[in-house]
Amino acid sequence: MSLEVEDLRVYYRTLAGDVKALDGVSFKLADGEIMGLAGESGCGKTTLGNSLVLLDGRMKHVGGSVKLDGAPLPIANFKAMQEFRFKHISVIPQYAMSALNPTRKIGKMVEELLESRGIGGDEHRKELERRVQLVGLGVDVLDRYPIELSGGMKQRVVMVVSTLLDPSLLIADEITSALDVSSQRAVAQTLQSFRDKGFVRSMIVITHDVSILYQISDTLAIMYAGKLVEKAPTQTVMEQPLHPYTRLLISSLPEMGVRFADQRLKGIPGTPPSLLNPPPGCRFRDRCPLAFAKCAEEPPLVELAPGHSVACWKAAS
Amino acid sequence: MRRYFGRKLFVYLLTFFVAATIDWLIPRFMPGNPVQSLLSRSHVTPEALPSLQAYYENLFGLDKPFLAQYANFWGAMLHGDLGRSVYLSGSPVTEVIMGAVPYTLALLIPAILLSYWAGNKFGAMAARRPLLDNAVLPIGYVLTATPYMWLAIVIAWVLGTIVGIFPISGGYSYSLEPSFSWTFISSLLSHWVMPFMSLFLVQFGGWAIGMRNLIIYELDADYSRYLSALGAPSKLVRRYAYRNALLPQVTGLALSLGVVVAGALVTEIVFAYPGLGKLLLAAVQNEDYFLLQGIFLFVIVGVLIANFLVDIAYVVIDPRTRVGMRGGTA
Amino acid sequence: MTAPVAAPDRPAPEPTSASSSEDVGRRREFLHFALRGPKVLISGSILLLFVIVAIVGPIIRPGDANAFVGPLGAAPDGAYWFGTTTFGQDVFAQFANGLRTTFGAGLLGGGLAAIIGMTIGFIAGYRGGLVDEILGMVTNIVLVIPTLALLIVVTAYLSARGIVVEALFIGLTSWPWAARAIRAQTFSLATRDFVDLARMSGVRGLRVIFSEIAPNMSSYLFLSFILLFGGAILIAASLDFIGLGPTEGSSLGLMMYNAVAWGALPLGLWWWFIPPGIGITAIVGALYVLNVGLDEIFNPRLRES
């Protein structure tokens, strides 16, 4: 499976105007690739994830295209997307803890969901049971109501349900944010094992916590203010980031063994620009220590090395 | 589960106890003396007054010490003796009430059940179809804001006086005697239609609006979004939303019972329908305290029983309550 | 009349921020919606209209509303805008004065119920534990008793009745649902950090409620009051309709009582019973819609895009 996103623009309708949450994002996802998508809150990563699966009422597709395995993906057409959802593109939502119907037993809900999509029940029931055990839960979980499960258990159930039909593309949205550190690691490893076992072909893992991505993703894409600023293999991003924002982001990560007295944690001063009326030129310009005259013009995303794209005049020169 | 129902039962019994006590206390603490007002309305010679007074005091039990009166009250009530109606010249209150109850129930039960079912269905439909919503919403708000007695008056006036297809007073034609004949039954029905319609419409508005708002809320919930993201057809999403929205509606049903009963009472007054409402008015106008207290107790018991039934229904349809009782939450 | 249409359990509103520029922005947003949303505008105008009639009416038509002034049972005309009753009373004068009584009963009754509901709701939600259990039981008991039946029995024994007494009894019996709703909101707010902070700074119970919790629920409290106000009007009208209203003066429910009692229906004197009913329906309906409209303003999630 391959995913090609070309200059995708998705805006939010608000009373005050259009919020340009996703303003021209392009990237490619190869078969079997786990791509981490990171950035600050409000950079557009969740919008990107949502737009690939379910464009809700407030979002509008303004421009750009998405191709799945060479064929165009009709993201703006709710009905046309139905065929893709769950079967080919699936999502583990940000709100996984409350994603299960509180008044239905979990197994029953899955059964009814499959039936409503015209997919037979029995073989999938066995597979469901198998996978539920794979994530460390007992089969009895399927006979329970969501209220009887802990947050972590519900998280795992949603992971199993979302991947039940072996989708080509899985979008995992902030699935570790509400968990403690050891659970985070367990979930991250489970995700990776899903890909390795063939339950999922490719993944986009969305988070603001870069350290998780370091563990499981093959490539990292960094977003800022609605734009993609850098994409490269994970190792490269961590060790040789080219975009100033990425470099500041990486260096702001605490390192094990380094004490506060020796090296202070660096933050990035300032805040991202408003997406209602974004400033012209490079959006990171105001906070960038390397900004110069050319930055008044918006830098294009250029592939500077094989598999390594950056949107920065300084890095390109 | 036993603990849950046991607790509910306890609250209901306590409520009944409190209500009955208040009921008994009121005449004894209000300004004026019920006996005096009864005496002043009776047409007897001044010489007969003292013995009449003694009779009434005995009847009210006012000649005994306080606690004994209270004990008598409970004893009599548990024997089904609610005293005697002054207005209806001495007939036992229980008998009088029992004569009126079937009429009130004949109005209440169909009106409550039908309006609940129809209102919820319409509200759910309106939540999905914007065109229907534009009609249902204002109509629903107007209906639910309409006082029961006024809608009764308007219906009586339009269909009764102006169009003239339904009779505007009585439970059945004044010229008929109760019998199992078709004439009598059709007369019963034609007298029943307007009061029923009035009760039905007001409640219908309330349920429709409530359900519509709840469904909108549920359709926006996380589990609905997740199902949509997994490509579930809107039929499934709506089904789940409806099921979940019903739960607060059931609770609402219990809360509305007291209000609906009041509505039935005033509706009957408008139509001079021979139920508890008409009886209540007569009791108030004739200062028939026994009858008044009897009706009140009856209404209370009825409402408490209905509340208990709704509680049972709620446990049946919300699986989470059963889980909670098993102590199964994580 | 039904149980209040909208008072669902909802997550508590976000606490207001300290920054004044955000306050200005919030106010501007409020006004924007308040003046644009048809719900608030229309219902507000209807209510304003009736308030004006209530204030101005008795001035235009001074004197005792129940005086016998005109022809018997006359239809509306230039002299008597709403016609006259079977006894020759001016229906418009009764209507205008009745509006005053109705609003009064609503304000007093609803206000008292709001105060009781808030007191019990705040205490139960904030203290929790045994206090909450006991108050909860009291609330349940008052909630289940059919209030109209109780009110009928109580007021039947009073020989002289005025608005104040009627409003008093209404206020004493219609608070339970508000207490429950306020308790639930207080519960969720009481566990928030800023309340803990206040407590740790040594602020004592009552002050915490007044200075931290209540202001953050102010919109919710206001909406509850609106519903209580409407409910009180309906209950008062019903009591008046049974003949248990104020023994002096005029009220909308009393007008309906008289109309039905003196045969306005078979005689077709529609001007006697239509105006009071429309008055109550319009006022209560406007209150419900106002409630929904304001709710949308205070809770942006409910806004239809």
Count of CB contacts below 8 A, A vs B? 83
Cβ contacts of B228 on chain A, cutoff 8 Å: 54
B61 band by pLDDT with thresholds 50, 70 and 90: low
Residues of C in contact with A13 (CB under 8 A): 305
Please report, as a single letter, which amino acid is at residue A160. V
pLDDT bin (cut points 50, 70, 90) of residue B33 is low
Strands (E), B164-275: none
The minimal CB distance from C256 to the residues B15, B32, B150 is found for: B150
Q: What is the pLDDT of residue C19?
A: 41
Average pLDDT over residues C268-287: 91
DSSP B92: B
Q: In what order do the strands lie in the sheet with A308-310?
A: A89-92, A169-173, A202-207, A34-38, A219-224, A227-233, A308-310, A302-305
How do strand A219-224 and strand A34-38 relate by DSSP bridges? parallel
What are the pLDDT digits (tens) for A55-69?
Answer: 877 888 888 999 988
For residue A305, what are the β-bridge partners? A308
CB contact (8 A) between residue C144 and residue B303: yes
Rounded Cα distance between A15 and C148, Å, is 46
Residues of B in contact with C268 (CB under 8 A): 157, 161-162
End-to-end CA distance of chain A: 34
B222 in contact with chain A, both atoms CB, cutoff 8 A: yes
For B237-294, write each residue's pLDDT tens digit.
999 999 999 988 988 888 888 889 889 988 998 888 999 988 888 887 777 777 888 8
| Cβ–Cβ below 8 Å for B320 and A90 | no
Task: Give burial (CB, 10 Å; 0-12/13-18/19+) of C21.
Answer: exposed
- B256 interfacial to chain C (CB closer than 8 Å): yes
pLDDT attached to residue A238? 85
Q: What is the 3-state secondary structure (H, E, C) of chain A?
A: CCEEEEEEEEEEEECCEEEEEEEEEEEEECCCCEEEEECCCCCCHHHHHHHHHCCCCCEEEEEEEEEECCEECCCCCHHHHHCCECCCEEEECCCHHHCCCCCCCHHHHHHHHHHHCCCCCHHHHHHHHHHHHHCCCCHHHHHCCHHHCCHHHHHHHHHHHHCCCCCCEEEEECCCCCCCHHHHHHHHHHHHHHHHHCCCCEEEEEECCHHHHHHHCCEEEEEECCEEEEEEEHHHHHHCCCCHHHHHHHHCCCCCCCCCCCCCCCCCCCCCCCCCCCCCCCCCHHHCCCCCHHHHCCCCCEEEECCEEECCHHHHC
Contacts of A150 in chain B (CB under 8 A): 330
In chain B, the residue whose alpha carbon lies closest to the alpha carbon of C274 is B154
| pLDDT for res C228 | 93
* Interface contact flag, C2 B257, Cβ < 8 Å: no
Residue A50 pLDDT > 80, yes or no?
A: yes
Closest residue in C to B142 (Cα) is C285
The CB-side HSE value for B223 (13 A sphere, CA atoms) comes to 23
Per cent of chain B over pLDDT 70 is: 89
Residue C14, pLDDT score: 42
Taking a C-beta distance cutoff of 8 angstroms, is the pair C114, C225 a contact?
yes
Q: Which of B126, B125, B198 is nearest to B160 (CA)?
A: B198
User: Does A104 contact B240 at a Cβ distance shorter than 8 Å?
Assistant: yes
Query: In this predicted structure, which of A6-15, A31-40, A240-249, C155-164 has the lowest mean pLDDT?
Result: C155-164
**Given this model, what pLDDT does residue C6 score?**
41
Residues of B in contact with A117 (CB under 8 A): 231-233
> CA-to-CA distance for B271 and B196, rounded, in angstroms?
11
The rounded distance, in Å, linking the Cα atoms of A170 and A233 is 19
What are residue B190's DSSP bridge partners? none
Whether the CB of C19 is below 8 Å from some CB of chain A: the reply is: no
Question: Measured between alpha carbons, how far is A161 from A178 in angstroms, rounded to an integer?
Answer: 19
pLDDT of residue A261: 67
Quick check: A244 pLDDT over 90? no
Output the pLDDT for position C160.
65
The predicted structure's pLDDT at residue A157: 94
Query: For A53, phi and psi rounded to 5 degrees?
Result: -120, -55
The alpha-carbon gap from C198 to the nearest alpha carbon of chain A, in Å, equals: 27
The region, left, alpha or beta by phi > 0 then psi within -120 to 50, assigned to residue B164 is left
Look at residue A264 in the predicted model and tell me its pLDDT. Answer: 64
Residue contacts between B and C (CB atoms, under 8 Å) = 189
* All chains having 3 or more CB pairs closer than 8 angstroms to chain C: A, B
State the average pLDDT for chain A: 87
Query: If DSSP codes are grouped into helix, strand and coil, which group holds residue B84?
Result: strand
pLDDT digits (tens, 9 = 90+) for C43-92: 889 999 999 988 888 888 787 778 788 788 788 877 788 888 888 888 88
* Whether C301 contacts chain A with CB within 8 A: no
Q: Which of A61-75, B37-51, B76-90, C3-17 has the highest mean pLDDT?
A: A61-75
- As to burial, measured by CB atoms within 10 angstroms (0-12 exposed, 13-18 middle, 19+ buried), residue B36 is exposed
Question: What is the enclosing helix (H) or strand (E) of B141?
Answer: helix B130-145
Chain C residues closer than 8 Å to B120 by CB: none
Cα B39 from Cα A201, distance rounded (Å): 94
Mean pLDDT along residues A134-138: 90
Please write down the HEC assignment for all residues of chain C.
CCCCCCCCCCCCCCCCCCCHHHHHHHHHHHHHHHHHCHHHHHHHHHHHHHHHHHHHHHHHCCCCCCCECCCCCCCCCCCCCCCECCCCEEHHHHHHHHHHHHHHHHHHHHHHHHHHHHHHHHHHHHHCHHHHHHHHHHHHHHHHCCHHHHHHHHHHCCCCCCHHHHHHHHHHHCCHHHHHHHHHHHHHHHCCHHHHHHHHCCCCHHHHHHHHHHHHCHHHHHHHHHHHHHHHHHHHHHHHHCCCCCCCCCCHHHHHHHHHHCCHHHHCCHHHHHHHHHHHHHHHHHHHHHHHHHHHHHCHHHCCC
> What angle, 0 to 180 degrees and rounded to 10, lies between the N-to-C axes of helices B2-29 and B319-326?
100
pLDDT value, residue B112: 94
Q: What residues contact B85, with CB distance under 8 A and at least 6 apart?
A: B91, B92, B93, B96, B283, B288, B290, B291, B294
- Convert the pLDDT of each residue in A213-224 to its tens digit: 888 899 999 999
CA distance to partner chain B, nearest, from residue A79 (Å): 9
B55 touching chain A per CB within 8 A: no
Q: Which chain B residues are closer than 8 Å to A105 by Cβ?
A: 319
Q: Is the pLDDT of residue B328 over 60?
A: no
- pTM confidence score: 0.83
The whole-number pLDDT of residue A36 equals 93
- Distance between CA B162 and CA A161 in Å, rounded? 63
Nearest Cα of chain C lies from the Cα of A14 at a distance, in angstroms, of 8
Distance from CA of A218 to the nearest CA of B (A): 26
The pLDDT tens digits of the residues spanning C207-251 come to 777 777 777 788 888 888 999 999 999 999 988 888 777 877 888
Q: What share of chain B is helix, strand, coil (3-state, %, to 5)?
A: 80, 0, 20
Which chains reach chain B with 3 or more Cβ–Cβ distances below 8 angstroms? A, C
Predicted confidence at residue A35, as pLDDT, reads 93
Mutate which: B17, B143, B150, vs C, most C CBs within 10 A: B150
Residue C18's pLDDT is 39
B261 vs C284: CB contact, 8 Å cut-off? no
Q: Which tokens in the block code for residue B280?
A: 């209540």
pLDDT in tens, B7-22: 888 888 888 888 888 8
pLDDT score of B102 more than 50 = yes
Taking alpha carbons only, the member of B270, B254, B250 closest to residue B147 is B270
Higher per-residue pLDDT: C53 or B73: C53
User: Which of A5, A1, A2 minimizes the C-alpha distance to A223?
Assistant: A5
Which of B 289-328 lie inside 8 A of A, CB atoms? 318-320, 323-324, 328
Distance (Å, whole) CA B304 – CA B302: 5
The SS3 of residue B34 is helix
- pLDDT tens-digit profile of B111-170? 999 999 999 999 999 888 888 888 888 889 899 999 999 999 999 888 888 887 788 777
Percent with pLDDT over 90 in chain B: 22
List Cβ neighbours of C72 (8 Å cut-off, separation of 6 or more). C84, C85, C86, C87, C88
For the residues A79-90, what does the mean pLDDT come to?
91
Which residue of chain A is at minimal alpha-carbon distance from C32?
Answer: A15
Within 13 Å, how many C-alpha atoms sit on residue C277's CB side? Answer: 24
Looking only at the bridges linking them, the beta strands covering A227-233 and A308-310 are antiparallel
| A contacts of B235 (beta carbons < 8 Å) | 116
- Which residues on adjacent β-strands are paired with residue A224? A227
| Residue C37: how many other CB atoms lie within 10 Å | 19
Alpha carbons B124 and B203: distance in angstroms, whole number: 16
pLDDT band per the 50, 70, 90 thresholds, residue C181: confident
Would you state the pLDDT for residue C25?
56
Average pLDDT of every residue of chain B = 83
CA angle, B208 then B214 then B215, to 5°: 90
Is the Cβ pair B229, A85 closer than 8 Å? Answer: yes
- Name residues whose C-beta falls within 8 Å of residue B185's C-beta, 6 or more positions apart in sequence: none
Q: Which residues of C touch A58 (CB under 8 A)?
A: 305
Kindly report the backbone phi and psi dihedral angles of residue A6, in degrees, each rounded to the nearest multiple of 5, phi listed first.
Answer: -125, 110
Is the four-CA dihedral C58, C61, C67, C70 of positive or negative sign? negative
User: What are the start-end ranges of the E strands in B253-307?
Assistant: none
What is the Cα–Cα distance from B163 to B172, expressed in whole angstroms?
Answer: 19
Closest Cβ opposite residue B227 in set A95, A98, A113: A113
Among candidates C137, C243, C273 on the partner chain, residue whose Cβ is nearest the Cβ of B285 = C243
pLDDT of the residue at B85: 67
Q: With an 8 Å Cβ cutoff, is B287 touching chain C? A: yes
pLDDT band at B203 (very low <50, low <70, confident <90, very high): very high
Among the listed residues A317, A307, A294, the one whose alpha carbon sits nearest the alpha carbon of residue A230: A307
Q: Are A268 and A251 in contact (CB under 8 A)?
A: no
| Shortest Cα distance, chain B CAs vs residue A98, angstroms | 6
The per-residue pLDDT for C9 is 40
Q: Is A13 on the interface with C (CB under 8 A)?
A: yes
Chain C neighbors of A15, CB-CB under 8 A? 32
| Closest to C91 in 3D by CA, of C102, C80, C99, C100 | C80
